[in-house]
Amino acid sequence: MPDKTLTVLVLAAAAFSAAHDLDHLLRDDFSQPSAWAIVAGFLSMKYALTGAALYFYFRGKIGARFWTVVGILGAAALWFAHLSPSAEQRPPDIYAAYGSPIAGFIAWGLVYALMLSLVSLALYGGWRAFRAAERM
């Protein structure tokens, strides 16, 4: 039986990820014509795989360890892309890309909300996986 908290964390990470992807589209990060094809393929694959993973999770084929790995890899990718010292689009750059301080603050906050949801997913998934292994 799927864990409700883990399911909520997965859905929260997916929702924040979708909002962050929309932020990239609104900032016109993909202005070159060839970039749109790559981005469309990547986003389609990302959300299709998320849907498939949820399907297999509800069927009991994958468990908390899978979501732990997803959370860790997602947090690492987000850190390298937006929060590391060498990142090209750090939160102040994202904030400055909007004419409105409110819009910039929302976009900036989405990066941190996504990171929080991914780290929470990794920690809770790891805890659930550890607990499941203890019971065996």
* Token couple for 75: 């947090």
Q: Output DSSP code: residue 82.
A: I
pLDDT tens digit at each of 136 positions of the chain: 789 999 999 999 999 999 999 998 888 777 777 777 888 888 999 999 999 999 999 999 999 999 999 999 999 999 999 999 998 888 888 888 888 999 999 999 999 999 999 999 999 999 999 998 877 7
Largest CA distance in the chain: 56
pTM: 0.89
